[in-house]
């Protein structure tokens, strides 16, 4: 997907003014976030489980080469194929070639964020392959021609009226208007597609190094359809999605699912250990695992950002984030929105273009609090902010005017005399323009500050003067009180 | 089969980590350090617990399955279970019924109970319900009800575990609008952790199936107006019949 990360401020402004989206986003907090909080509270040893999950990810990422080798040896031994892709173009090319080689007409896709990085459905349609997103939320945004709004609820921003209108245009019949009726309509449309699919593309929630297995978590059952019906199953994963052994899955599934939706478990968890066995009744004849870098190597190489690779894509940080809940998913301009997106998108899709994203946070720490593996997102945002300001020229993106402004600021504040006189001068010059001790609007370059908040007028009698006076007063008082006794 | 592009990729991973190829030091966080013997004896312990705690675990899974969205019925005997299955099919007005070819049906006379209602269930295998895989697929999509046994159930989560294999199609528990699963005493695990201990022991012994499905309630979505609706792609109604 082509990043539009440079549009953050514009996108945020539009979203703030959109009452339909603002209403829909209430569900993010009242639904997901609240449920996640009570799921954590109801789980015995919840904090220990999180610690354990973090320790598993930390160990795996620190030894990623070893586990990637083990994983792929075992996929190979299970009768599957593995392709390592440096970028999304290489991954796309592999999958398109495979589809053409196997004479594939219809591809069903189960939700995969990596395939969103690749715009895979779009690339397939471009070469004449029917590619249908089968997660209901992804299906809706595919019809709308949009990007996902939320990691686990891609169409959270669409009202049921908007969905009804889209279904009506697609089917030409009345799709109903309640969520139940609309879901039934989608069921009919998608079941027909499932039946004729000859290839599936799924994501991977966890890959198990020791057994060469992949694990898919869904509530809808589309992951199961994708691993049951087509001849060819292609699973696409970011290179970080590994756990060492099957016995590590219990804790990982527990913390992932409870953090995502607040459920104890999702309706379906599917583990795939290669293509179908010969004696089986059904299932794909071929299994392909595509392991994608696409910029993740940069996260791995930077010790301050490495833990972004622990992310399980549960979406809890989005739901907890006061900024995400207001500016919405599309403002972030790439595949991953919210706090984790503000870290990952700039690194994967280019920091210079995405230089606003590390600043799209109040650093309140709610994301770190809810993250199942305790990723320190605020700290990574600070690290990226520093790069935006002080990094090498290819990532730095502070304009000359801003630099000049800060130089002037430094000049005015570095000496106490300048600071004192400057304050008094500002008070005298500004007094006629202030209302109730506040500037409502300042001229450029200070207009940015007053667009969303007031600026106080510097005090006529600065604190240090008043403090001096008070000090003199109190020493006088104490002297006189001593005299009385 | 084949691995493409690995050496260069792993070289870049090592470059980014600043390390040379080496096995990691054993780590307490993961279970990888356990030897096959450790895993085998842990699995033996799990099996013992399943049998010693069978009644407690059966009660627990009856509760958690109901929470997960299964319609739970507890019966005393295999004959009663067959009658309950027939009753569910009758109430649903089902005319096309498929069942897997699992051992449980030797003990639970589902076919006879259904035939008493005038319906003969099909067997969801290639050769019976379908002449080939596409025909079997068609049959599962056309059916009103799919009936299976249960390999394991999980008390923690209200989960039914199935390993697709000969006689147990991947689709018979997925494509029909209703799924009925029959659980017998002694097959309930305390939590996900015990399941993965058993799976790992099976893997070590070369006895693992091609895939595994954990099913915990009906097919669900919340993708339209954040409203939970049952029955998007898979069954909209799931029944767990517990014998014991």
Residue-range definition of the domain harbouring residue A213: 49-297
Chain B, 52 to 71: residues with Cβ < 8 Å from chain A are: 64, 67-69
Residues A292 and A406 in one domain: no
Residues A270 and A413 in one domain: no
Q: Which of A315-319, A335-339, B126-130, B140-144 has the lowest mean pLDDT?
A: B126-130
A388 preceded by cis ω (within 30°)? no
Backbone phi, then psi, for B74, in 5-degree steps? -105, 130
Residue A306 lies in a domain: no
The DSSP secondary-structure symbol of A310 reads G
Quote the tokens at residue A436.
């109730």
Q: Report how far apart, in Å, the C-alpha atoms of A413 and of each of A416, A422, A428, A447, B220 are.
A: 7, 9, 18, 20, 60
Residue A374 lies in a domain: no
Q: Is the pLDDT score of A422 beyond 90?
A: no
Residues A42-79: tens digit of each pLDDT: 898 999 999 999 999 999 999 999 999 999 999 999 99
Of A242, A274, A297, the last residue of a domain is A297
Distance to chain B for A356, nearest Cα, Å: 26
Nearest CB neighbour to A281, from listed B126, B196, B225: B126
The total number of residues shown for chain B amounts to 244
Of A277, A297, A317, the last residue of a domain is A297
Q: Which residues of chain A neighbour B14 with C-beta distances below 8 Å? A: 65
Quote the tokens at residue A403.
């630099």
Q: Report how far apart, in Å, the C-alpha atoms of A163 and of each of A139, A153, A366, A429, B223 are.
A: 10, 14, 32, 56, 10
| SS (HEC) of A420-468 | HHHHHHHHHHHHHHCECCEECCCCCCCHHHHHHCCEECCCCCCHHHHHH
Distance in angstroms (rounded) separating the CA atoms of residues A220 and A246? 24
Interface ipTM above 0.90: yes
pTM over 0.90: yes
Give the pairing type, strands B229-230 and B220-221: antiparallel
User: A212 with A273: CB under 8 angstroms?
Assistant: yes
Name the residue of chain B whose CA is nearest to A84's CA: B5
Quote the tokens at residue A18.
């959109």
Averaged pLDDT for residues B6-26 = 93
User: A309 with B244: CB under 8 angstroms?
Assistant: no
How many domains does the structure of chain A reveal? 2
Residue A379 lies in a domain: no
- Specify the 3-state DSSP secondary structure of A135: coil
Give the pairing type, strands B211-215 and A268-272: antiparallel
Name the residue of chain B whose CA is nearest to A153's CA: B223
Residue closest to A320 by CA, chosen among A263, A266, A361, A275: A361
Name the residue of chain A whose CA is nearest to B131's CA: A281
Of A249, A272, A297, the last residue of a domain is A297
Distance in angstroms (rounded) separating the CA atoms of residues B42 and B39? 5
Quote the tokens at residue A39.
């799921």
Q: Report how far apart, in Å, the C-alpha atoms of A43 and of each of A144, B67, B157 are.
A: 38, 15, 12
Residue closest to B40 by CA, chosen among B163, B188, B153, B197: B197
Residues A169 and A55 in one domain: yes
- When the pLDDT of each residue in chain A is averaged and rounded to a whole number, the result is 93
Residue A229, judged by CB atoms within 10 A of its CB (0-12, 13-18, 19+), counts as buried
Backbone phi, then psi, for B71, in 5-degree steps? -90, 110
Averaged pLDDT for residues B72-90 = 98
User: A194 with A223: CB under 8 angstroms?
Assistant: no
Averaged pLDDT for residues B154-158 = 97
Indicate yes or no: CB of A272 within 8 angstroms of CB of B210: yes
Furthest C-alpha separation in chain B = 71
Residue A309 lies in a domain: no
Residue closest to A323 by CA, chosen among A3, A12, A6, A1: A12
Q: Is the pLDDT score of A445 beyond 80?
A: no
pLDDT of residue A336: 96
Distance in angstroms (rounded) separating the CA atoms of residues B143 and A46? 42
Q: How confident is the model at residue A239 (pLDDT cuts 50, 70, 90)?
A: very high
Residue with tokens 């895993």: B39
Residue A217 lies in a domain: yes
Indicate yes or no: CB of A250 within 8 angstroms of CB of B191: yes
Averaged pLDDT for residues A223-233 = 98
Q: How confident is the model at residue A483 (pLDDT cuts 50, 70, 90)?
A: low
Quote the tokens at residue A378.
């605020």
Q: How confident is the model at residue A236 (pLDDT cuts 50, 70, 90)?
A: very high
Q: Is the pLDDT score of A406 beyond 90?
A: no
Nearest CB neighbour to B13, from listed A140, A221, A300: A300
CATH number at residue A155: 3.40.50.10420
Q: How confident is the model at residue A482 (pLDDT cuts 50, 70, 90)?
A: low
Helix axes A64-77, B6-17, angle to 10 degrees: 160
Residues A262-309: tens digit of each pLDDT: 999 999 999 999 999 999 999 999 999 999 999 999 999 999 999 999
Residue A72 lies in a domain: yes
Residue A277 lies in a domain: yes
Residue closest to A53 by CA, chosen among A269, A316, A251: A251
pLDDT of residue A481: 66
Q: Which residues of chain B neighbour A229 with C-beta distances below 8 Å? A: 137, 171
Regarding predicted confidence, which is higher, A20 or A294? A294
Q: Is the pLDDT score of B212 beyond 60?
A: yes
Averaged pLDDT for residues B219-232 = 94
Residue A187 lies in a domain: yes
Distance to chain B for A334, nearest Cα, Å: 20
Residue with tokens 């039946």: A195
Residue A447, judged by CB atoms within 10 A of its CB (0-12, 13-18, 19+), counts as exposed
A341 Cβ partners below 8 Å, 6+ apart? A318, A332, A334, A335, A357
Backbone phi, then psi, for A257, in 5-degree steps? -70, -40
Helix axes B54-68, B36-52, angle to 10 degrees: 90
Distance to chain A for B17, nearest Cα, Å: 6
Residues A355-395: tens digit of each pLDDT: 999 999 999 999 999 999 999 999 999 999 999 988 888 88
Q: What angle do CA A50, A53, A55 make, to 5 degrees?
A: 110
User: How many pairs of residues across A and B have Cβ atoms under 8 Å apart?
Assistant: 299
Indicate yes or no: CB of B17 within 8 angstroms of CB of A210: no
User: A26 with A374: CB under 8 angstroms?
Assistant: no
Backbone phi, then psi, for A210, in 5-degree steps? -65, -30
User: For chain B, what percent of residues have pLDDT higher than 70?
Assistant: 100
Quote the tokens at residue A480.
């006189």
The DSSP secondary-structure symbol of A6 reads G
Q: Which of A193-197, A362-366, A436-440, B84-88 has the lowest mean pLDDT?
A: A436-440
Residues A96-126: tens digit of each pLDDT: 999 999 999 999 999 999 999 999 999 999 9
Q: Report how far apart, in Å, the C-alpha atoms of A417 and of each of A232, A410, A413, A422, A426 are.
A: 75, 13, 9, 8, 14
Q: What is the CA radius of gyration of chain A?
A: 28
Residues A406 and A275 in one domain: no
Residues A262 and A409 in one domain: no
Q: Which domains occur in chain B, in start order?
A: 70-243 (3.40.50.10420)
Chain A, 229 to 268: residues with Cβ < 8 Å from chain B are: 229, 239, 243-251, 253-254, 261, 264-268
Nearest CB neighbour to B164, from listed A55, A68, A280: A280
Chain B, 101 to 140: residues with Cβ < 8 Å from chain A are: 124-126, 133, 136-138
pLDDT of residue A9: 93
Nearest CB neighbour to A183, from listed B68, B209, B224: B224
Quote the tokens at residue A57.
């990810």
Residues A465-480: tens digit of each pLDDT: 889 999 999 888 877 7
Q: For chain A, say whether B32 makes contact (Cβ under 8 Å).
A: yes
Indicate yes or no: CB of B169 within 8 angstroms of CB of A31: no
pLDDT of residue A485: 47
Residue closest to A311 by CA, chosen among A249, A239, A263: A239
Indicate yes or no: CB of A52 within 8 angstroms of CB of B29: yes
User: A285 with A276: CB under 8 angstroms?
Assistant: yes
pLDDT of residue A450: 86
């Amino acid at each position: 997907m082509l990043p539009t990360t440079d549009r953050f401020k514009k996108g945020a402004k539009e979203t703030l003014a959109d009452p339909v989206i603002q209403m829909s986003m209430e569900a993010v907090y009242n639904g997901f976030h609240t449920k996640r909080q009570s799921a954590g509270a109801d789980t015995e040893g919840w904090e220990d489980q999180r610690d354990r999950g973090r320790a598993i990810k930390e160990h795996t990422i620190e030894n990623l080469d070893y586990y990637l080798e083990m994983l792929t040896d075992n996929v190979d031994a299970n009768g599957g194929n593995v392709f390592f892709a440096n970028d999304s173009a290489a991954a796309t090319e592999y999958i398109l070639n495979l589809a053409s080689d196997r004479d594939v007409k219809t591809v069903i896709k189960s939700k995969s964020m990596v395939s969103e990085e690749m715009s895979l459905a779009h690339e397939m349609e471009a070469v004449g392959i029917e590619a249908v997103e089968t997660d209901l939320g992804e299906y809706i945004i595919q019809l709308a021609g949009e990007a996902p709004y939320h990691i686990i609820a891609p169409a959270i921003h669409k009202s049921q009226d908007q969905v009804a209108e889209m279904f009506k245009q697609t089917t030409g019949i009345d799709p109903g208007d309640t969520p139940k009726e609309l879901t039934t309509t989608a069921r009919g449309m998608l079941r027909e597609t499932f039946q004729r699919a000859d290839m599936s593309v799924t994501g991977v929630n966890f890959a198990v190094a020791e057994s060469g297995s992949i694990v898919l978590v869904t509530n809808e059952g589309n992951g199961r359809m994708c691993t049951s019906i087509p001849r060819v199953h292609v699973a696409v994963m970011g290179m970080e999605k590994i756990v060492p052994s099957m016995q590590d899955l219990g804790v990982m599934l527990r913390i992932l699912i409870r953090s995502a939706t607040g459920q104890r478990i999702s309706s379906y968890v599917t583990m795939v250990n290669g293509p179908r066995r010969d004696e089986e009744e059904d299932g794909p004849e071929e299994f392909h695992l595509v392991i994608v870098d696409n910029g993740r190597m940069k996260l791995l190489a930077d010790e301050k950002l490495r833990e972004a690779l622990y992310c399980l894509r549960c979406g809890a940080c989005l739901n907890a984030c006061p900024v995400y809940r207001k500016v919405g998913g599309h403002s972030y301009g790439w595949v991953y929105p919210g706090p984790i997106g503000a870290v990952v998108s700039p690194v994967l899709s280019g920091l210079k273009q995405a230089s606003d994203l590390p600043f799209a946070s109040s650093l309140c720490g709610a994301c770190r609090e809810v993250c199942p593996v305790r990723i320190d997102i605020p700290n990574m945002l600070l690290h990226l902010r520093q790069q935006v300001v002080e990094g090498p020229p290819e990532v730095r993106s502070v304009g000359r005017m801003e630099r000049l402004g800060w130089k002037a600021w430094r000049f005015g504040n570095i000496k106490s005399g300048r600071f004192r006189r400057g304050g008094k001068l500002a008070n005298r010059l500004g007094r006629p323009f202030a209302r109730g001790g506040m500037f409502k609007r300042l001229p450029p370059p200070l207009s940015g500050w007053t667009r969303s908040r007031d600026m106080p007028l510097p005090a006529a009698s600065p604190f240090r003067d008043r403090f001096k006076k008070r000090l003199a007063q109190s020493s006088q008082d104490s002297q006189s009180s001593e005299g009385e006794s | 089969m084949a691995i493409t592009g690995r050496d260069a990729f792993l070289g870049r991973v090592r470059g980014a980590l600043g390390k040379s190829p080496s096995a990691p030091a054993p780590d307490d966080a993961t279970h990888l350090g356990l030897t096959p013997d450790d895993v085998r004896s842990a699995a033996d312990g799990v099996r013992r617990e399943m049998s010693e705690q069978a009644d407690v675990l059966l009660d627990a899974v009856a509760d958690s399955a109901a929470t997960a969205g299964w319609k739970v019925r507890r019966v005393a005997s295999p004959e009663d279970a067959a009658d309950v299955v027939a009753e569910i099919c009758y109430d649903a007005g089902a005319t096309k019924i498929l069942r897997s070819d699992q051992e449980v049906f030797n003990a639970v006379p589902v076919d006879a109970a259904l035939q008493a209602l005038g319906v003969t269930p099909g067997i969801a295998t290639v050769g019976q319900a379908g002449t080939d895989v596409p025909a079997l697929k068609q049959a599962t999509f056309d059916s009103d009800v799919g009936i299976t046994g249960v390999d394991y159930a999980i008390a923690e989560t209200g989960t039914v575990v199935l390993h697709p294999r000969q006689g147990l199609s991947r689709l018979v528990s997925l494509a029909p609008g209703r799924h009925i699963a029959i659980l017998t005493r002694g097959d309930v695990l305390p939590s996900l952790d015990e399941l993965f201990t058993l799976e790992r022991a099976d893997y070590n012994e070369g006895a693992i199936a091609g895939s595994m499905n954990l099913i915990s309630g009906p097919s669900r979505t919340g993708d339209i107006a954040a409203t939970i609706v049952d029955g998007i792609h898979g069954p909209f109604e799931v029944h767990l019949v517990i014998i014991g």
